[in-house]
C-alpha cells in the first residue's frame, strides 16, 4: 500500500503563520478523524495517510519522510506568489540560506535523497497569510482559504489513489 504524509509547519502562535495546522485539522476531520485540540498534541493516523506538524523543517526530518511514497508539505506564504492558495510539485534542490533556521522542503528532499538514495514524490501547498501577529486564531481572510486548501490536498491525494 502506498502511504502519504501530510506535513504542516509554521508557528500557530503567530496568527496566519499557523495556517498549516488549521488545514491539517480540517483534513483530518474530512477523513473522519478527530483532530488534536492543540498543535502540541499528535494527530490521529489513518490507514493510508499520516499527519505531522512541526514549528519548522529540520534536517532530521529527512529520515522520517524517507519512509513515505508521497509527502505534501503545508505552509503559509506572505504574498510572494500570485495565487492565494497554490499547490506545486517539488523537485529535490539543495538551497543555501543565510538563516540557520530556514530549511525549504526542496532542501529537505535533497537531504533525503542524499542520505537514503531516493525521496518521496512531494508537493507544497501554500496558503496566503494576511497577518502574523501574536494570536492562535487565523485572520478571517486566511481562514476563508482553508476549504480551498483542503480541496486541493484532497485532489492531490485522490490522483495518487491514496484516498
pLDDT greater than 60 at residue 75: yes
pLDDT digits (tens, 9 = 90+) for 83-101: 999 999 999 887 665 555 5
This prediction's pTM? 0.94
Overall domain count for the chain: 1
Contact 35, 25 (CB under 8 A): yes
What DSSP element (H or E) covers 71? Answer: strand 70-77
Contacts of 51 (CB under 8 A, 6+ apart): 5, 6, 7, 8, 24, 27, 28, 43, 44, 45
Q: Give which of 129, 106, 124, 121 is closest to 68, Cα–Cα.
A: 121
According to the model, what pLDDT value does residue 97 have? 56
Contacts of 116 (CB under 8 A, 6+ apart): 62, 63, 66
CA 65 vs CA 114, 122, 124, 137: distances in Å: 13, 10, 14, 29
Q: Give which of 117, 141, 19 is closest to 76, Cα–Cα.
A: 19
Domain with residue 153: its CATH number is 3.40.50.1450
pLDDT greater than 80 at residue 140: yes
The range of the structural domain enclosing residue 51 comes to 4-159
Amino acid at each position: 500500500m502506498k502511504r502519504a504524509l501530510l506535513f504542516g509547519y509554521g508557528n500557530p502562535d503567530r496568527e496566519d503563520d499557523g495556517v498549516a495546522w488549521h488545514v491539517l485539522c480540517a483534513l483530518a476531520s474530512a477523513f473522519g478523524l478527530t483532530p488534536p485540540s492543540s498543535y502540541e498534541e499528535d494527530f490521529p493516523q489513518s490507514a493510508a495517510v499520516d499527519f505531522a506538524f512541526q514549528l519548522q523543517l529540520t534536517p532530521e526530518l529527512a529520515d522520517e519522510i524517507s519512509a513515505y511514497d508521497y509527502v505534501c508539505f503545508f505552509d503559509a506564504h506572505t504574498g510572494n506568489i500570485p495565487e492565494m492558495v497554490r499547490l506545486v510539485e517539488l523537485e529535490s534542490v539543495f538551497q543555501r540560506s543565510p538563516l540557520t533556521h530556514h530549511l525549504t522542503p526542496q532542501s529537505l528532499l535533497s537531504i533525503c535523497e542524499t542520505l537514503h538514495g531516493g525521496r518521496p514524490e512531494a508537493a507544497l501547498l501554500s496558503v496566503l497569510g494576511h497577518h502574523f501577529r501574536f494570536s492562535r486564531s487565523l485572520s478571517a481572510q486566511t481562514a476563508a482559504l482553508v476549504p480551498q486548501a483542503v480541496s486541493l490536498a484532497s485532489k492531490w491525494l485522490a490522483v495518487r489513489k491514496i484516498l
